[in-house]
A and B are shown apart, each in its own frame.
Chain A
Amino acid sequence: MTLAKAIVLTGNGTNCEIEAAHACRLAGFDEVKIAHISELLYGEVRLDDFHFLNLTGGFLDGDDLGSAKAQANRLKNARITGTNEHLIDQILRFIKDGKLILGVCNGFQLMVKMGLLPALDGTYLNQSATLTFNDCGRFQDRWVYMKCDAASPSVFTKGISGGIYLPIRHGEGKFLVESQEVLDKIEALHLSVLKYSDSDFSAPTMEFPLNPNGSTNAIAGLCDESGRLMGLMPHPEAFLHRTNHPRWTRESLPEEGDGLILFRNAVEYIRSNLL
């Protein structure tokens, strides 16, 4: 394979697939496939043929059993029709092959609840954290500043100076961990790559609405130790052009939005390491 290929998974309530695919194309992916989950479950599309898996935002199964819970259960248990292969086998192979997964919002919730993040010591499928109801008790659509940890292993955030500014749109974004030990490890390994902060990106904050959900240690985004799996509550695919910015008519901004860098880093990593 010489082409950089991204796949965006949809179905059962995912709803940011168009803009996620657009972000991948803008970033330079040669091929971008929006695949309905049924195409994977029927064996018509295989994850093995791609380098970058996008688990995008939405309301998987209406978040009826808690955000993304039903999809986590589906991805763990569903079988590829007519075979003995489980979809989860493809996902684990995808990770083992050194490929990239980015989970945004509902996709981040999914990764955490499947145990793909933080997956300390590489123990994938072992859930050790969760995302639950915002402290304010309500869904919120507002923009947030996130300080980026430059020492993080995340391949998606390379080159971000200070932080980034993106919208959140969720009711269940409060990050909680199983134990203090898990949290300590996350922090020690610099896995908490993005934290809600003030507008200068100077320090993480617990203050509403800068921190819109009351997340532990203001954690907005998280990666695994390999840096190739990352999830975040804010939506990078929602800020690709300056006209997405809430104050673009009064501030002078670059043409390109803050969200694009994550996708650019993905394609660059793939070109350098996987092709």
Chain B
Amino acid sequence: MTHRIEINLKKQVRDARGERIRREIEHFLHFPVSSVRTIDVYSIDAQLSTKELEIIAAEPLCDRIIQSSHINSSAASDFDYLVEVGFRPGVTDNIGRTAREAIEYVTGRRLEEGEGVYTSVQYLLKGELKPADVEQITTGLLCNTLIQRYRIVDFASFNAGTSAPLGIPKVTAETRATVNEINLNVSDDELLAISKDGVLALTLEEMKIIQEYFQDSAVAEQRKKLGLSENPTDVELEALAQTWSEHCKHKIFAATIDYCDENGNREEIHSLFKTFIQGATKKVREQLGERDFCLSVFKDNAGVIKFNDEYSLVFKVETHNSPSALDPYGGALTGIVGVNRDPFGTGKGAKLIFNTDVFCFASPFYEKTLPARLLHPRRIYEGVVEGVEHGGNKSGIPTVNGSLVFDDRFAGKPLVFCGTAGFMPATINGEPSHVKTIYPGDLIVMTGGRIGKDGIHGATFSSEELSESSPVSAVQIGDPITQKRMTDFLIIARDRNLYNFITDNGAGGLSSSIGEMATECGGCRLDLAKAPLKYSGLAPWEILISEAQERMSLAVPPAKIEEFLALARKMGVEATVLGDFTDSGYFHISYNDATVAYLPIDFLHEGLPPMQLKGVWEIKKHPEPQPVEKSDYTGELLKLLSSLNICSKESVVRRYDHEVQGGSVLKPFTGVNDDGPSDAAVLRPDLESFEGVVVSHGICPRYSDIDTYHMMANAIDEGIRGYVAVGGSLDLIAGLDNFCWCDPVQSEKTPDGEYKTAQLVRANKALYDYCVDYNVPLISGKDSMKNDFFDGVTKISIPPTVLFSVIGKIDDVRKTVTMDAKRPGDIVYLLGKTAFELGGSEYYALRGFVGNRVPRVDALKSLKRYRAYHEAVQQELVASCHDLSDGGLAVALAETAFAGGFGMEIDLQRVLFSGVACDRTDEVLLFSESASRLLVTVHPENRDMFEKVMTGNCFSSIGTITEETTLTVTGIDGSMILRGALDDLKEAWQSPLREL
């Protein structure tokens, strides 16, 4: 029978969770709720004695100091409405899993197969509420109906006992070993219908390639021998759909593009990826020559570079946008624990040393109406922030760098970038750690979590736009603890040399991971019936493509399998042999003895001809605002500091553990009160050494409205600029690109596809040009190409966005430079020239304009300046340095001043300008976002040395640090044009998101 144990807080104990919900109801839904109390409910579907039940309720499930437990009786009292929220069947219930283990320790026996623990939460609401209000609170805040169920009971019905409980979300389906054949000898329309109805995301051309393959008589002959008909099985069709999905295959980046520029010059590009991304890295590695530090690029789950002779550094950044749109918490949590598996599955496996997060949202204060199915940006913000908090913190990986970017077009799809770096010994058991090989005969082993229906069609679903009918099953909830146990185990297995090859199970599930591994040795034979399942009822194709989380796939030599499995058992990790690797040339899948898929590896991976795209570039003219001449710009600065893209994100950052593992050197916040914004992060991955890792990023989607070429150039420069500012070395620096685009494929839904393709081409051209000029190799990256919402009426496309992440080294972390002003009397320098480049700026956005004069990057001059600056850092001549980005000089001055707690006197007459004299205005000098500029302060005793080191570069001293607590700026006509008290400036900067 099912027992219900309810745990509530004792009356006098504060309910922090309830209070937070009450505040959110009040703040965002504006309902009068006087109190919210919460109750945890455990529904235990297991044979337990009364005595056992009493121990379980009293000890592991209840903290008797603050809580009371109730066995098979209600804890609820004193409320107007009770809302109970629990999971839908099959959704990962982490607390239920932990409770199950706790029960097993208490009883000393394992729960039977099919027995289980399911959790739900009751919210007791008090207040003058109507039933419709409670419904809105429930669906708008407490319950995500995609993955959760709820019931609402008013006090009277509750007491009358007329309301049925939620019941347990047990999956009860029978195992169906059925495999269906799909007849592809049908019309084109029917082919398309097969693809659409099955969420295969295959185009007609792709369906016809598959059709043609199966029509081949030689193929049919061979299939007959294995008991297969001439039609593909659902397993085969699904495997092809996963492997050929945009998500896995990157068809757009591999496409042949006919590109035409604004002057009508045409060129044909064969694969953006090969031409511009791999091309840039190849060129940079040639330039680096003997100093090349790239070890493994573009071939593994993450890029690997040399850190020093003893260690290698691994880095990868992923996006998890589509799932985060549907279930922000689960989507983002899965995003972070998912990207953790990339460096973990790179080479022989790396220890994870930090996470980075960048989120792009619409304003959390969004007030326009949204199409159905889209969650309010505020809810996405809350859910994503919390998902990444739980994923990162519980995994014990510090979250060291990130940002939040706001633009209302991200209401259509939020962007959730999650990055993770790893650190591994350069050699393990005498072999280079970044190299791995599979030999025919090696066993296919899956470790970690079990397979369920969660995450089916994630890869294909994210290869389409979001719509009202997006599948529920595409959402997963990660489980950081199951993953942590697995990684604890696998690191030991790695060091004992127990496996030959490791990779992650991500998009496409086993279909992708084993499919890709099979290319290493030329084949595999996999039995789906051996795969451990969370519950029965999965068809073979579902087992193959499920994206259930926390799994790694390995190749284990038969001689080591016993030791491998024994270690797994000991450490409480599930590991299962699913088959073996072969050199048959075939991806051969069975279910018990029956063959259910038999596809040539070549066809699976190389069967797809490149897509053909056309890109036509045109320069779009935006209205150009009239210059403003004011006698005082303090108000503009205060407004800029309060804009969402510039204001402090401290309320989010403090929720992320950024210091675990003990190597924290430069934290996200710095300065006299630990609240100034750092430009990059520095940490020591090896506590025995002072060599550090530096990480930063650049992202500026706003410039895409003018020209994606310059958007890309500025993102690269911003990433490098922040990295250089804190002291990162230019001799060991690498980049990662993450493209998030709106669909660029011309179609009825996307009539401007050719323009979007041209935007993509231009961004790639800049990526090549600037990486080559900056001498920064790209080591890994990812693209997500369908970031649109379309429900048949409303289309929302994100602005083309690239996150450019930068990773590298600082030889001695004790030379790290922070951004806060250090002491009165210090000289303030501005490195680099300012130009009239307000196009796409935060300042123009504030005025309601985009403009046209987008900042341009001169990489060669900037690199020379960055090198000179780095030399000054090496000689310890720099007291502080802050990079200029959103909001330009004015914002950088304010941040430097209030972070340090010292005033500044600045004279704009001394700012170097590039351009015609009439453009040199106070407005331009204060707010232009010209690239490659650094605001540096230097102790007076170091002035001569600093200026000597910087000789030959554009720089000027523009003022001094003062004892006062004000920032004052003198304009070009000599009068004071800005005067702000540090407290006011800081308050403007901190207040907007403080309460979120």
Which of B397, B484, B665, B674 contacts A142, CB < 8 Å?
Answer: B674
List of A residues within 8 angstroms of B99 by Cβ: 64-65
Q: CB-CB contacts of A4-43 with B at 8 A, as 1s and 0s?
A: 0000001111111011001000000000000010100010
List of B residues within 8 angstroms of A177 by Cβ: 65
Is B165 on the interface with A (CB-CB < 8 A)? no
List of B residues within 8 angstroms of A42 by Cβ: 570
Q: Which residue of B17, B661, B669 has the most chain A CB atoms within 10 A of its CB atom?
A: B661
List of A residues within 8 angstroms of B65 by Cβ: 127-130, 176-178
Do residues A250 and B395 form an inter-chain contact, with CB atoms below 8 A? no
Is B556 on the interface with A (CB-CB < 8 A)? no
121-164 of chain A: CB within 8 A of chain B = 127-130, 132-143
List of B residues within 8 angstroms of A229 by Cβ: none
Do residues B659 and A167 form an inter-chain contact, with CB atoms below 8 A? yes
Given A66-B63, A243-B665, CB of A141 within 8 Å of CB of B655: yes
811-825 of chain B: CB within 8 A of chain A = 813-814, 816-818, 820, 822
* Selected A-B contacts with CB under 8 Å, 30 pairs: A11-B485, A13-B484, A15-B661, A22-B687, A22-B688, A36-B492, A36-B571, A58-B396, A62-B98, A63-B394, A66-B63, A69-B63, A70-B98, A70-B101, A74-B101, A128-B65, A130-B63, A133-B16, A135-B16, A138-B654, A142-B674, A167-B659, A169-B393, A178-B65, A238-B664, A243-B813, A244-B665, A246-B670, A249-B816, A249-B818
Given A59-B480, A167-B659, A177-B65, CB of A247 within 8 Å of CB of B394: no
Do residues A249 and B817 form an inter-chain contact, with CB atoms below 8 A? yes
Q: CB-CB contacts of A57-91 with B at 8 A, as 1s and 0s?
A: 11101111110011011101111000000000000
Do residues B571 and A11 form an inter-chain contact, with CB atoms below 8 A? yes
List of A residues within 8 angstroms of B94 by Cβ: 62, 64
Which of A62, A139, A249 contacts B389, CB < 8 Å?
Answer: A139
Q: CB-CB contacts of B388-407 with A at 8 A, as 1s and 0s?
A: 01000111110000000000
Do residues B571 and A38 form an inter-chain contact, with CB atoms below 8 A? yes
Do residues A13 and B394 form an inter-chain contact, with CB atoms below 8 A? yes
List of A residues within 8 angstroms of B655 by Cβ: 138-141
Q: How many angstroms between the C-alpha atoms of A99 and B604 in the bound complex?
A: 62
List of A residues within 8 angstroms of B822 by Cβ: 249-250
Do residues A36 and B816 form an inter-chain contact, with CB atoms below 8 A? no
Do residues A134 and B660 form an inter-chain contact, with CB atoms below 8 A? no
Q: How many angstroms between the C-alpha atoms of A66 and B69 in the bound complex?
A: 14
837-857 of chain B: CB within 8 A of chain A = none
Given A59-B481, A62-B98, CB of A15 within 8 Å of CB of B654: no
Q: How many angstroms between the C-alpha atoms of A138 and B382 in the bound complex?
A: 12
List of A residues within 8 angstroms of B485 by Cβ: 11-13
Is B619 on the interface with A (CB-CB < 8 A)? no
Is B177 on the interface with A (CB-CB < 8 A)? no
Is B173 on the interface with A (CB-CB < 8 A)? no
Q: How many angstroms between the C-alpha atoms of A11 and B491 in the bound complex?
A: 13
Is B19 on the interface with A (CB-CB < 8 A)? yes
Do residues B105 and A137 form an inter-chain contact, with CB atoms below 8 A? no
Closest residue to A73 on the B side, CB-wise?
B60
Is B131 on the interface with A (CB-CB < 8 A)? no
* Range, interface on chain B: 35 or more
Do residues A61 and B481 form an inter-chain contact, with CB atoms below 8 A? yes
Which of B97, B393, B662 contacts A139, CB < 8 Å?
Answer: B393
Is B66 on the interface with A (CB-CB < 8 A)? yes
Is A113 on the interface with B (CB-CB < 8 A)? yes
Interface residues of B (CB under 8 A from A): 13-14, 16-17, 19-20, 59-61, 63-66, 94-95, 97-99, 101-102, 105-106, 108, 389, 393-397, 479-481, 484-485, 488, 492, 570-572, 653-665, 667, 669-672, 674, 684, 687-688, 813-814, 816-818, 820, 822, 900
Which of A16, A141, A143 contacts B662, CB < 8 Å?
Answer: A16
Closest residue to B480 on the A side, CB-wise?
A62
Do residues A65 and B661 form an inter-chain contact, with CB atoms below 8 A? no
Do residues A247 and B672 form an inter-chain contact, with CB atoms below 8 A? yes
Q: Which residue of B14, B97, B480, B484 has the most chain A CB atoms within 10 A of its CB atom?
A: B484
Q: A12-B481, A61-B98, A249-B818 are in contact. List 18 more A-B contacts (CB 8 A).
A: A10-B488, A11-B485, A11-B488, A16-B396, A22-B688, A36-B571, A62-B94, A62-B95, A64-B98, A69-B60, A70-B102, A132-B63, A133-B17, A169-B393, A237-B662, A243-B665, A246-B674, A250-B672
Q: What is the CB-to-nearest-CB distance from B931 to chain A, in angstroms, rounded to a whole number?
A: 26
Which of B656, B662, B670 contacts A22, CB < 8 Å?
Answer: B662
Q: How many angstroms between the C-alpha atoms of A64 and B40 in the bound complex?
A: 11
List of A residues within 8 angstroms of B816 by Cβ: 243, 249
Is A101 on the interface with B (CB-CB < 8 A)? no
Q: How many angstroms between the C-alpha atoms of A144 and B485 in the bound complex?
A: 31
Q: How many angstroms between the C-alpha atoms of A78 and B572 in the bound complex?
A: 13
Q: What is the CB-to-nearest-CB distance from A175 to chain B, in angstroms, rounded to a whole number?
A: 10
List of B residues within 8 angstroms of A140 by Cβ: 654-655
Q: How many angstroms between the C-alpha atoms of A135 and B14 in the bound complex?
A: 8
Do residues A15 and B396 form an inter-chain contact, with CB atoms below 8 A? yes
Is A190 on the interface with B (CB-CB < 8 A)? no
List of B residues within 8 angstroms of A210 by Cβ: none
Do residues A238 and B662 form an inter-chain contact, with CB atoms below 8 A? yes
Do residues B64 and A73 form an inter-chain contact, with CB atoms below 8 A? no
Q: How many angstroms between the C-alpha atoms of A74 and B106 in the bound complex?
A: 8
Do residues A62 and B394 form an inter-chain contact, with CB atoms below 8 A? yes
Which of B16, B95, B393, B659 contacts A235, CB < 8 Å?
Answer: B659
Q: How many angstroms between the C-alpha atoms of A144 and B26 in the bound complex?
A: 31
Is A240 on the interface with B (CB-CB < 8 A)? yes
Q: How many angstroms between the C-alpha atoms of A77 and B60 in the bound complex?
A: 11
Q: What is the CB-to-nearest-CB distance from A16 to chain B, in angstroms, rounded to a whole number?
A: 6
List of A residues within 8 angstroms of B14 by Cβ: 135
Closest residue to A257 on the B side, CB-wise?
B662
Q: Which residue of A15, A143, A244 has the most chain B CB atoms within 10 A of its CB atom?
A: A15
Do residues B98 and A65 form an inter-chain contact, with CB atoms below 8 A? yes
Q: How many angstroms between the C-alpha atoms of A127 and B661 in the bound complex?
A: 30
Q: What is the CB-to-nearest-CB distance from A66 to chain B, in angstroms, rounded to a whole number?
A: 5
Q: How many angstroms between the C-alpha atoms of A169 and B657 in the bound complex?
A: 6
Closest residue to B688 on the A side, CB-wise?
A22
Q: How many angstroms between the C-alpha atoms of A79 and B671 in the bound complex?
A: 50
Q: How many angstroms between the C-alpha atoms of A135 and B18 in the bound complex?
A: 11
List of A residues within 8 angstroms of B667 by Cβ: 246
Do residues B105 and A73 form an inter-chain contact, with CB atoms below 8 A? yes
List of B residues within 8 angstroms of A66 by Cβ: 63
Q: How many angstroms between the C-alpha atoms of A64 and B93 in the bound complex?
A: 10
Q: How many angstroms between the C-alpha atoms of A247 and B675 in the bound complex?
A: 11
List of B residues within 8 angstroms of A77 by Cβ: 105-106, 108
Q: Which residue of A65, A177, A247 has the most chain B CB atoms within 10 A of its CB atom?
A: A65
List of A residues within 8 angstroms of B687 by Cβ: 18-19, 22, 240
Do residues B105 and A38 form an inter-chain contact, with CB atoms below 8 A? no
List of A residues within 8 angstroms of B98 by Cβ: 61-62, 64-65, 70
Do residues B60 and A70 form an inter-chain contact, with CB atoms below 8 A? yes
Q: How many angstroms between the C-alpha atoms of A63 and B390 in the bound complex?
A: 10
Given A113-B63, A129-B65, A137-B20, CB of A65 within 8 Å of CB of B662: no
Do residues B63 and A61 form an inter-chain contact, with CB atoms below 8 A? no
Which of B17, B654, B684 contacts A141, CB < 8 Å?
Answer: B654
Q: How many angstroms between the C-alpha atoms of A6 and B522 in the bound complex?
A: 49
Q: How many angstroms between the C-alpha atoms of A240 and B687 in the bound complex?
A: 10
Q: How many angstroms between the C-alpha atoms of A142 and B669 in the bound complex?
A: 10
Do residues B480 and A137 form an inter-chain contact, with CB atoms below 8 A? no
Closest residue to A244 on the B side, CB-wise?
B664
Q: What is the CB-to-nearest-CB distance from B377 to chain A, in angstroms, rounded to a whole number?
A: 20
Q: How many angstroms between the C-alpha atoms of A130 and B106 in the bound complex?
A: 21
Q: How many angstroms between the C-alpha atoms of A61 and B667 in the bound complex?
A: 27
List of B residues within 8 angstroms of A62 by Cβ: 94-95, 98, 394, 479-481
Q: How many angstroms between the C-alpha atoms of A167 and B658 in the bound complex?
A: 10
List of B residues within 8 angstroms of A12 by Cβ: 481, 484-485, 572
Q: What is the CB-to-nearest-CB distance from A211 to chain B, in angstroms, rounded to a whole number?
A: 15
Closest residue to A169 on the B side, CB-wise?
B657
Closest residue to B61 on the A side, CB-wise?
A65
Q: What is the CB-to-nearest-CB distance from A33 to chain B, in angstroms, rounded to a whole number?
A: 14
Given A57-B660, A142-B654, CB of A73 within 8 Å of CB of B59: yes
